[in-house]
Every structure is written in C-alpha cells, then in structure tokens.
Amino acid sequence: MIELKSPSEIEAMRPAGRFVASVLTALRDAADVGVNLLELDALAHRMIRDAGAESCYIDYHPSFGAMPFGKVLCTSVNDAVLHGLPHDYRLRDGDLLSVDFAASVDGWVSDSALSVVVGTPDPEDLRIIKATEDALAAAIAVALPGNKLGDISATIGDLARANGYTVNTQFGGHGVGRTMHGDPHVANDGRAGRGLKLRPGLVIAIEPWLMRTTDDIYTDPDGWTLRSADGSRGAHSEHTIAITDGAPIVFTDRGVA
C-alpha cells in the first residue's frame, strides 16, 4: 500500500534524514586501512544510542535473510555488493567499501548508502562509484510531480548502460515512512513514461547499485551478504527523497547534515 505523506509529516521526517546523513559522514571519515568492519558498526551503534534513535537493521528478518541481521550497518567490501554483514575484517589498502544505513528518529525512517575506496584507489573503482552517484543524481532530478516511476528507473538504467554496465533488478529502491521498506518498489531499470504517477507526499529511497562486469549475484554463506557472480567489484549509492510540488527534498543529503 502506497501512503502519501502530508506536509507536516514531510517536515517530521527531516530529523531522521539528517541523522542518517551524519552517521554516514562519520563512517566515511572513519573508514581507513586497518579499521575493522565491526568497529564501524560499533561507531554507528554508539551514534544511534547517543541520538535516541532506533536501528532499522538489527532485528530485520525478511524472507531473503537467513536470520535476523543482528548489526546496524551493511558493510559490503569489493565483490560483496549488497547487504554485507559486518564481520571481523580489517580494511586493506585499495578496498572498495559500500556502507548502507537506515534508522528511525521519532518514528520516521531514512535510508542511505555510499561507496568509498580505502587507501590507494583503482581508477575503475572510482569510475563505478561515480556512475552510481551520477545515476542517483539524475534519478532525483526527474523525481518530479507528474512524471512516472518508470522515468526514475529508466534514467538509472540508461546512465548505467551509457557507462558500460549492466543492471541487476532483483533489488532496488523502495517506499519509506514509518518502516524501512514499503511500496512502491523502485527498480533500477525500466521504461520511461510507465508506472505510478509521482505525486507530492510520496517518499522513496532511490538506490542505484552496479557491478563492474556482471549483473548476476549469489548469497554468501553468512546468509545475508550478496556477492557478484564473477568476483567483480560493485558500488552503491542511495538517498531518501520526498516528491513535492517542486523540486524533491533529499532528506539524506550529506551536504546539509
């Protein structure tokens, strides 16, 4: 069921967006060679506790997860491309790290993700990160009242292909509100002019994610982490936004966190 938020509810969602953005900024700054993924998870956990927020991940157990997630972050490294379960791993020079984080503040959720290279970057890693960031920015730019959901999806898919990447559509964006995942599903590829008409009050997470040389994935033995089928690296970018009468509101914009 798709629920449109009132102007007052949109305003009430802003603190969650600012908080999620601030946590991702802190995690990006903390990620360095030798830092353990469990240390990053602990940092986010402390920030949640200090802010009086609530984790959306720790007890999360959808049908595709082997058990409740148990951590407050997704930390996906190199060929781990989504839902990376934090574990005892110290980041190495050149690792590509994607961090996905969602939290609830005063009952409202925001969800966001970023990718960074730790230490010495491989140009191809920087290129795929930029492709996801550019796709996200372009998708947000067409998230306007009167446009269709397919315009967002087609924008992501077209930009991915223009950069030489194929698109996996098993996982994508989603509605956001009192819970982390709701309707509608926001695919990372589609046909322009098709699907749900965008209306003010619709709040969605848009999340392009790409892999270098495949669009196939498999589930790691940990029951959560999704890896590229051919071992190639992936990147992930995400913001939670609201459709308005004008330009969309980007709740998780780290520039205003």
Mean pLDDT of 154-178: 97
Instruction: Say whether pLDDT at 56 is over 70.
Output: yes
Tell whether residue 111 is among the known ligand binding residues. Answer: yes
Residue 189 domain flag: yes
Residue 93 is classified by DSSP as T
pTM of the model: 0.96
Tell whether residue 41 is among the known ligand binding residues. Answer: no
Residue 13 domain flag: yes
Confidence of residue 38 (pLDDT cuts 50, 70, 90): very high
Tell whether residue 100 is among the known ligand binding residues. Answer: yes
Confidence of residue 93 (pLDDT cuts 50, 70, 90): very high
Confidence of residue 145 (pLDDT cuts 50, 70, 90): very high
Tell whether residue 174 is among the known ligand binding residues. Answer: yes
Of 64-68, 106-110, 140-144, 240-244, the least confident = 64-68
Instruction: Say whether pLDDT at 257 is over 80.
Output: no
Mean pLDDT of 214-222: 96
The distance from CA 34 to its chain's CA centroid, rounded to whole angstroms, is 24
User: Whole-angstrom Cα distance, residue 32 to residue 53?
Assistant: 26
Q: By C-alpha distance, which of 175, 217, 225 is closest to 74?
A: 225
Residue 93 domain flag: yes
User: Whole-angstrom Cα distance, residue 249 to residue 243?
Assistant: 7
* Coil/strand/helix, residue 183: strand
Residue 196 domain flag: yes
In Å, how far are 77, 90, 115 from 160, measured between CA atoms? 21, 31, 16
Residue 2 domain flag: no
In the chain, how many domains are there? 1
Percent of the chain predicted with pLDDT > 70: 99
Residue 211 domain flag: yes
Residue 209 domain flag: yes
Q: Which residue has the tokens 């559509």?
A: 169
Confidence of residue 256 (pLDDT cuts 50, 70, 90): low
In the sheet with 217-219, reading across from the earlier edge strand, the strands are 80-82, 226-228, 217-219
Instruction: Say whether pLDDT at 28 is over 80.
Output: yes
Tell whether residue 134 is among the known ligand binding residues. Answer: no
pLDDT computed for residue 255 by the predictor: 86
Tell whether residue 185 is among the known ligand binding residues. Answer: no
Domain limits for position 164: 7-256
Instruction: Say whether pLDDT at 1 is over 90.
Output: no
Instruction: Say whether pLDDT at 66 is over 90.
Output: no
User: Whole-angstrom Cα distance, residue 204 to residue 183?
Assistant: 8
Average pLDDT over the chain, rounded to an integer: 97
Q: What is the CATH number of the domain that holds 95?
A: 3.90.230.10
Beta strand 234-236 with 209-211: parallel, antiparallel or unpaired? antiparallel
Residue 1 domain flag: no
Tell whether residue 124 is among the known ligand binding residues. Answer: no
